[in-house]
Structure 1
Amino acid sequence: MKNLLRQIAVATFLILAALPSHSQEKLVKVNGHNFNTYQKGFEKRKKNTPAIIFENGMGVGLGNWDLVIDQIAKFAPVFAYDRAGVEKSDKVYQMPTPKVVADNLKSILTTLNIAPPYILVGHSMGGVYIRGYAGFYPNDIAALVFIDPADFTETKQQWNSIFRAIGVPEQKIDEMLYDRLYTKSKVDSLNFGPWSEGEVLGDLRRTDFAAINDLPMPGVPIYFLVGGRFEVPPDRRSKDFDHERFFIVKSNQNMEHWRKVIDASGKGGALIYLPKSGHYIQRDEPKAVINALKFIIENI
């Protein structure tokens, strides 16, 4: 049976290799390292029309957009990639700070002749990274779309205020803050990409995201898509506080921060709350992401 399966696999590979390639996924070498990229719809792109650039969540590859990206490519050119050390991209032993990630993305887009303007779409940690890119390269940006992002406006004091609101004692709050931000983890060389992104997020949180907040915010439309479903399984919930209550208070606080980000841009936008969606909105409610981007493209 194993030999038969091997023969089928080889035959399939030979057939596919003989066919014209229509794959949109390829490796691009930048600064001596290969980055896995995906692009579609650029053959129809008109001059000065926006391209949609996706930035993944922490340690996640471009495949997490698979339910939306091809549908979006029907009305706008799309680009996604794996950051260094994630999925098919080369492992690079360098901390993926917002500056490093922004410069890598800029080099990749330049190498592929994907010119601005860009609509940057960032999920989770990708939201932090697109905020960084927008600060380093503000003239490239046509709009920003944050999909359930890590809160890049967060301060340690604000984080502690969530626990005070749900009745956690001060000593326990101090202990949890120390565990969250000041307990160093061992370097994970095997999974350096995902591990290092988590370390960078911790570093940013320790400084109240100073490296992000010191950057200018371009005057462009800003959109947030926010999931409202609590999805932490019972065996992973904290025994120190009401985890679901924490999620509700934190979500409300985040949305208040993000409304201020939209208002400060001076160019409008929207905050879209999706109560049935979890953190991966692009997988839980792909139509919401597709329709939001179609609206942005039509109205930008």
Structure 2
Amino acid sequence: MFISFISLSQEKLVKANGHNFNVYLKGFENRKPNTPAIIFENGMGVDLGNWNTVIEQISKFSPVLAYDRASVGKSEKVFQMPTVKVVAENLKAILQTLDVPPPYILVGHSLGGLYIRSYAGFYPNEIAGLVFIDPADFTETKNDWNDIFRKMDVPEKKIDEMLYSRLYQQNSKVDSLNFGPWSEAQVLNELRRTDFAEIAKLPLPSVPIYFFVGGKFEVPIERRSKDFDQEAFFHIKNNSNMERWKKLIYSSNRGGTLIYLTNSGHYIQRDDPKSVISNIKVLVESLKN
């Protein structure tokens, strides 16, 4: 869990869809009409303090909003599964309650990448840009996953066993104490079982699309798999992901960019905040043309 260094004076609880959400805003007093607001979506079970290395600098050139999803951080605990539709509807309600109209640039880290892709599909006309920071791969299929192990010469029987263990042997007992992180993990697993069918059918707005990818392998030796070479798996998976993400970028007539950072791990906004800040600034500036 990260400690937030964001000024408490800029955080507040906002009631939307009948629940209280912790929200951080800055820079809206000077927002000009049709200027994009930057909306941050956190990773799995992580609060808005996750952005404390970049959000203050970004607020100097664009208005920003970050928030804690239900049952995470300082937001109210709500015993409702955080499906992509529920999360999108909650964010929509927050933005309406705060009178923050579109257009939006959505920035999502990890699981937040999956949620911003979904929001963009539900409300495509509101989106000016999409920024994915080492996202959970919403383009992946079970066969894509299996192909990584085939490239590593893992036997098919073992591949089947690992896939079954990954997707179908999870502990389904409700963790009421840690409901937000627990329930978000359940939602991600359910989407993986269906090859992200719910997201794949959503339209993708024709906007600039940025991907940041961390190339640094960080899993400690004691936590690595005994079944396969996890570092080799990491690099093959990264390459596989990037090939699909490039196709996603090409599918937009507004283009975009893929930024591969070899010295950054999963939390790119912490490992290389300057790159995140500068590239988001480039995106904002490009929308003025």
Q: Is the shorter-chain TM-score for this pair beyond 0.5, marking a shared fold?
A: yes
Q: TM-score, normalised by structure 1?
A: 0.92
2:213 is paired with a residue whose SS is: strand
Residue of structure 2 equivalent to 1:6: none
1:136 aligned to which of 101, 115, 122: 122
Specify the SS of the correspondent of 1:177: helix
**Partners of 1:22 and 1:127 in 2: CA distance:** 26
Structure 1 runs (4+) greater than 3 angstroms displaced: none
Give the TM-score normalised by the residue count of structure 2. 0.96
Task: Label 1:92 to 1:168 Cα distance change in 2 as closer, same or farther (>3 A).
Answer: same
Match of 2:86 in 1: 100
Counting only pairs closer than 5 Å after superposition, residues 106-145 of structure 1 correspond to structure 2 as 106-145=92-131
Q: Within 1, Cα distance between the matches of 2:94 and 2:81? A: 18
Residue number among 66, 75, 86 corresponding to 1:80 in the alignment: 66
Q: What amino acid does structure 2 have at the position aligned with 1:37?
A: V
Give the match's secondary structure for 1:23: helix
Task: Give the superposition deviation at 1:265.
Answer: 1.1
Matched, 1:276 2:254: no
5+ residue gaps, structure 2: 1-6
Q: What does residue 246 of structure 1 align with?
A: 233
The aligned counterpart of 2:3 is none
Question: What residue in structure 2 maps to residue 293 of structure 1?
Answer: 280
1:192-225: per-residue Cα shift (whole Å, max 9, x none)?
0110000000000000000000000001110001
Secondary structure at the residue paired with 1:174? helix
Match of 1:224, SS state, is strand
Q: Give the letter for the 1:207 counterpart.
A: T
SS at match of 2:107: strand
Out of 127, 132, 135, the position equivalent to 1:149 is: 135
Q: Distance in 1 between matches of 2:18 and 2:8?
A: 26
User: What CA distance in whole angstroms lies between the structure 2 residues aligned with 1:198 and 1:182?
Assistant: 13
How far apart are the structure 2 equivalents of 1:54 and 1:227?
Answer: 18
Are residue 196 (structure 1) and residue 183 (structure 2) matched?
yes
* Rounded Cα–Cα distance in structure 2 between residues aligned with 1:292 and 1:201: 28
Deviation at 1:32, TM superposition (A): 1.6
Partner of 2:52: 66
Give the counterpart letter for 1:121 in structure 2. V
Equivalence for 1:172: 158
Secondary structure of 2:145's partner? helix
The equivalent of 2:200 in structure 1 is: 213
Query: What RMSD over aligned residues (CA atoms) do the two structures have, in Å?
Result: 0.9
Give distance in 1, aligned partners of 2:141 and 2:65: 32
2:77 is aligned, of 88, 91, 94, to 91
**Structure 1: distance between partners of 2:82 and 2:48:** 17
One-letter amino acid of the counterpart of residue 157, structure 2: Q
Instruction: Kindly provide the CA deviation profile for residues 54-79 of structure 1, in whole angstroms up to 9, marking residues without a partner as x.
Output: 00000000000001000000000000
Q: 1:50 aligned to 24, 30, 36, which one?
A: 36
C-alpha displacement at 1:22, in angstroms? 7.7
Distance across 2 between alignment mates of 1:79 and 1:252: 32
SS of equivalent to 1:266: coil
Q: Secondary structure at the match of 1:133?
A: helix
User: 3-state DSSP class of the match of 1:265?
Assistant: coil
Length, aligned pairs only = 280
Q: Report the CA distance between 1:184 and its aligned residue.
A: 3.0
- Could you tell me how far apart the structure 2 residues matched to 1:57 and 1:22 are? 21
The percentage of aligned residue pairs carrying the same residue is 72
Deviations 1:102-159 (A, max 9, x none): 0000000000001100000000000000000000000110000000001100000010
